[in-house]
Chain A
Amino acid sequence: MSTIAIPNETLTRTGIAATLPAPAPLADADRKPLTKKETAADHPTWCPGCGDFSVLALYYKLIEKRKMLHENICTVAGIGCSSRFPYFVQAHGAHFIHGRALAFASGVSLSRPDLHVFVFGGDGDAFSIGGNHFTHTARKNIKMTYVVMDNFVYGLTKKQTSPTSPIGFKSKTDVGGSTDRPVNPMKQAICAGATFVGRSTATNVNHLLGLMDAAMSHDGFSFIEVLSECVEFFPGAFDAAIPRKGGTFPEIPAEHDVTDEYAAYKLCDEPWPGMFGTFFKVNRPTKNANEAKLITDARAKFAGVPDWQILQKNFDRMK
């Protein structure tokens, strides 16, 4: 029989065990919370004034506030201006292909339940090329936090229509103005089955930090749409939501029942600039928990049995 050419030698730092590592504690007694100095990596390549700067600054703040250990931070992104996040965060990170960040992050989340994965991206990544993954990651309730910096335009490729561009928006691909009905991200997320759905702006930093903090605490797929202005290709897009520019920041009233799907859905139809805050939040078993249960049940019969003997039982039946 064929020999295995590559001997099963001990290889360092590749592969994980049959059993998943125990969740690491959030803080070590002798380690101080990370400051921006320690979590900032490459200087962002964004245009001066880009809304994404403040989202990045809030991510550093969140890391500090939650006393996250350096090695347990995992930042994932796809393609777009905002998807450059992993390079700007001094931590483990992956910059994946366009639209597939959620699928990649799902692989990390499901195989490494000890980590809390953050995914950052833009409207094209989330609602256009990655639309299918948005729907199914939400539906399966895979545990992670997804922050979409929505600027209503394709910025990296220099001003083409995005799936959230309003009707009439003039871009290089719609010189006479866009005619397609834009995606309503809040509706999309609630319909798909996301269990935490919130909305904020890059300019209201305290509001957004509170929302990111709550999203991180949520056990499930948490999604935040952040209106983040592209000063180069859609300047002034969100002025209506910025009080210092004469706009308003309508917050979801405290009496809103976040577990009421119909009430949440109605909030999504409020006139521009819409509502801000937590639209919807329910607890539903996560995919992570469902898979963990499958594993626990399956392993109950094999307590203390080494893997090779479990496989041997299968092979014995095929003799």
Chain B
Amino acid sequence: MPKDISAVVEKINVSAPSSDARWAFEGDVPFGDLEAGVPLSAMPVVHRLRLGNGLRLLLLVDRAAPVVAYYTWFRVGSRHEKPGKTGLAHLFEHLMFNETEGLKAGDFDHKLEAHGAESNAATWVDWTYYHESLPKDGLGLAVKLESERMARLVLREPQVTSEKEVVANERRMRVEDDIEGAANEALYATAFTEHPHHWPTIGWMKDIEGFTPEDCEAFYRTYYAPNNATLIVVGDVREAQVLQKIRDAYGAMPAARIPEEDTRPEPVQRAPREVELARPTATTKLLMGYHGPALGDADHAAATVLSEILLGGRASRLYEELITQKELCTEVRGWVSTFRDPGLWEMYATVREGRSAAEVLDVFEAATARVRDGLVSDDELARAKARLELGALQGMDTASGMAEQIGFYDSLLGDPAGAFRKLEAMRRVTAGELRTVARRYLRPEARTLVRVVPEERPHGATTTEGAAEASA
């Protein structure tokens, strides 16, 4: 039986030094599958709380292992950047591991590792998060370090230049020398002309090279504030201890004025677009994107199910036709983007050596026409739903996995148990709804195609000098 936390809140608030440091309890959210037959009274809950300065806390007590996951989600990502300053949210993620007023460069990681903690961070279109997984007695350390860098980060040389170089190398690894990364960047840059999805989260190389400590400082002061953040704590903890520690560490931080959104919606795409890249590869790759629904749109669940029927796993329609039967491709997969604003419904295929992209595109076009014109079978629908149910549960076996899901869905949909609500919505999807979303989104004129083609080059030969070498 989950604990009634309102009494705990009341008790802790007695000693609050200011109104900014008072907790408000905003309710409990059952964290589980409401259709799985578990009584509501036996289901774990996410406690929702907010400090007077706007900092939100989502707390799930889970005693499966003597560990705690501590996540800080900031509601800022590459969507909030401006042309010429792309990649700043991501660079910032790196800089947050450096010096603070109370910690020398390197101390942050050193202190965490000395406690056996794992830590990392991630940035995407809509959000940035930082996380630590610690043995359960490390909660105080996570609170101390995260609150320190939320308010007292030091941004100066040589750390900024050094991290810019690390990020440039990361970009080389993920984009310049990575075929799929390059294709993905080209896809969004071509499909979006107005919306910030146009630029990559890692940023354009020219922008990365141009950042100054002043750019970083301005970004920090604008977006890194308690009222733009949510803490997620999952693990073997005591509620009162969590509330007390967080209140003491964050309660004195002032709220900031977070700028209003200034994003332009993407105009409707009325004609297909195509771009070609030449790369040193043996085979052609095709990456297609149709303008799709936002994560919070009612259509998103149906689009996800249909994507699964088309490209999810070996029994999906396109896998079976393109890889198993016709042997046109080596790999196919699909994904409906999970962004706050409408993104892309992506489809990817690797064309086998000796087969043509045209053959593959014909199959894709026929498959999308078929789902626009007809209904999928009951069996296909049931299989896709079973696969999605498995996928929804797979990431929930650790405290960190649960915390990430809670943070993701809360940041985008305002619902910490959104992963389960999405699963329930997918279970309700009907064949007719799939046909509707196919007609709404899988329109030929709304497609952008990136074609990666092998570039011509002379064939190399193995050479050896010195002692004989085993062939590789």
Instruction: Say if A and B assemble together.
Output: no
Which of B's residues lie within 8 Å of A, judged by CB? none
Chain A interface (Cβ < 8 Å from any Cβ of B): none
